């Protein structure tokens, strides 16, 4: 299998390399591609040094699978060109709502890989991925009617620049110096910003609409979803407070048992100090962690959950590689 990674020098591109290495993914030839600015850089993979090629000049006919991890503008310009020769797995939002492009979380809807029309597969939003992995087994048994989610998203979801800025702002704050935000609409150090991506006319942000629309496409178009997305001063991993209303009767014991046995999930749900997962513990882990599982005391058909996952790994790179694995299986 010949593999190409577009955006190989970025946060997610490097994580994809880590996942391919960890999984011992079968690779005949590996091609690392990035912008002219990064071309010529050397990246070590499995004790071999690879030189990063320029995207504009790259020949995609050499590749079987191409991972795109360079943002929506690059995907818009180059993904279909690549898809003429290679199956594209795109991490940006550009193709997610295209009716001819499957939007895949393998633990949830891998059957949709049978309906590839453009030779492009979309990877879902990081916050959507961890939520639908947790909710899929519950929806199968109890049928979800409504989801209310508030996210607490780390700065790594916005890229390396915002990660560096959080460190810089923290230093300035502790030194009692003036802070001027570059990558955020407000100070991010020691703060929470209820605004990710652009606002639409109805008051929702683009990030919130991604969660709403993607959940419907991946899980069930009939589920009602509302979201509030918040950026928090955490380096890696996203957390979510999720209220789920079911159509069918349930018991909390059965909910917990379903989650314990669900693929990709790990339940940490003890009613003691520290008996729950946080963003710090989730970093570098493959699992989606689920805690604070409890009955909604205002609605006997609803529960509350706390869901945490590494946004760069489970929410991007790992899901992309698992899409590739699932796709290969459908072709065998």
- What is the rounded distance in angstroms from the CA atom of residue 255 to the CA atom of residue 58? 49
Q: Which of 2.40.50.140, 3.30.360.10, 3.40.640.10, 3.50.50.60 is the CATH number of 128-310?
A: 3.30.360.10
pLDDT of residue 266: 98
| Average pLDDT over every residue of 319-326 | 98
Domain edges within the chain: 2-124+316-330, 128-310
pLDDT per residue as tens digits for the range 36-46: 889 899 999 99
pLDDT above 70 covers a percentage of the chain that reads: 100
Q: How confident is the model at residue 226 (pLDDT cuts 50, 70, 90)?
A: very high
Q: Which CATH architecture has domain 2-124+316-330?
A: 3-Layer(aba) Sandwich (3.40)
Question: Quick check: 331 pLDDT over 90?
Answer: no
**Angle 58-59-61 from CA coordinates, rounded to 5°:** 150
- Residue 227: CB partners within 8 Å, gap ≥ 6? 148, 149, 150, 151, 204, 208, 211, 212
pLDDT band at 332 (very low <50, low <70, confident <90, very high): confident
Residue 51 pairs in a beta bridge with 42
pLDDT score of 320: 98
255-288 tens-digit pLDDT: 999 999 999 999 999 999 999 999 999 999 999 9
Query: Which residues lie below 8 Å from residue 200, measured CB to CB, with a gap of 6+?
Result: 206, 209
End-to-end CA distance of the chain: 13
- Helix (H) / strand (E) element for 151: namely strand 144-153
pLDDT confidence of residue 207: 97
Model pTM? Answer: 0.95
Q: What is the pLDDT of residues 201-223, one digit of tens each?
A: 999 999 999 999 999 999 999 99
Query: Of these residues, 4, 63, 229, 238, which one is catalytic?
Result: 238
What does the DSSP assignment read for 265-310? Answer: EEE---SSTT-S--HHHHTT-SSEEEEEEEE-TT-TTEEEEEEEE-
In a 13 Å sphere around the CA of 88, the CA atoms on its Cβ side amount to 29
pLDDT mean across residues, the chain: 97
Tokens of 41: 């850089």
Q: Give the separation between CA 195 and CA 183, rounded to whole angstroms.
A: 12
Of 4, 126, 229, 265, which residue is the catalytic one?
Answer: 126
Q: Rounded to the nearest 5 degrees, what angle is found at the Cα of 82, between the Cα atoms of 79 and 85? A: 145
Give CA–CA dist 26/22, Å, rounded.
11
CA–CA separation, 26 and 230 (whole Å): 38
Asked if domains 2-124+316-330 and 128-310 share a fold, the reply is no
* Contact assessment for residue 231 and residue 184, using Cβ atoms and an 8 Å cutoff: yes
Q: How far apart are CA 177 and CA 179, in angstroms?
A: 6
Report, in angstroms and rounded to the nearest whole number, the Rg of the chain calculated over CA atoms: 20
Q: Taking residues 225-235, report their average pLDDT.
A: 98
Q: What is the mean pLDDT of residues 89-94?
A: 96
- Is 238 among the residues known to form the active site? yes
Helix (H, G, I), strand (E, B) or coil at 156: helix
| Catalytic residue check, 139 | no
Can you read off the two tokens belonging to residue 115? Answer: 């309906």
- Structure confidence at residue 115 (pLDDT): 84
Percent of the chain exceeding pLDDT 90 equals 96
């Amino acid at each position: 299998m010949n593999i190409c990674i577009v955006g190989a020098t970025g946060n997610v591109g490097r994580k994809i390399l880590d996942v391919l290495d960890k999984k011992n993914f079968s690779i005949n030839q590996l091609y690392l591609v990035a912008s002219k600015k990064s071309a010529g850089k050397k990246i070590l993979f499995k004790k071999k040094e690879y030189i990063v090629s320029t995207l504009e000049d790259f020949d995609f006919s050499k590749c079987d699978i191409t991972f795109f991890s360079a943002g929506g503008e690059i995907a818009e310009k180059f993904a279909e060109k690549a898809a003429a020769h290679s199956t594209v797995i795109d991490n940006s939002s550009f193709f997610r709502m295209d009716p001819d492009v499957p939007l895949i979380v393998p633990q949830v809807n891998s059957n949709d890989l049978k309906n590839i029309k453009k030779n492009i597969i979309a990877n879902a939003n990081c916050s959507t991925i961890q939520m639908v992995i947790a909710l899929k087994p519950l929806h199968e048994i109890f049928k979800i009617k409504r989801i209310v989610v508030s996210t607490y998203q780390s700065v790594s979801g916005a890229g390396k620049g915002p990660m560096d800025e959080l460190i810089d702002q923290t230093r300035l704050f502790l030194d009692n110096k003036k802070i001027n935000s570059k990558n955020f609409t407000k100070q991010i150090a020691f703060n929470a910003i209820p605004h990710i991506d652009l606002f639409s006319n109805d008051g929702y942000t683009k990030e919130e609409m991604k969660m709403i629309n993607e959940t419907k496409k991946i899980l069930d178009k009939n589920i009602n979803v509302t979201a509030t997305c918040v950026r928090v001063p955490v380096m890696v991993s996203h957390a979510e407070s999720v209220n789920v209303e079911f159509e069918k009767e349930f018991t909390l014991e059965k909910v917990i048992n379903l989650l314990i046995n669900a693929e990709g999930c790990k339940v940490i749900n003890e009613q003691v100090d520290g008996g729950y997962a946080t963003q710090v513990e989730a970093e570098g882990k493959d699992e989606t962690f689920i805690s604070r599982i409890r009955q909604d005391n205002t609605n006997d058909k609803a529960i509350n959950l706390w869901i945490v996952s590494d946004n760069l790994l489970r929410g991007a790179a790992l899901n992309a590689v698992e899409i590739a694995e699932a796709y290969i299986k459908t072709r065998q």
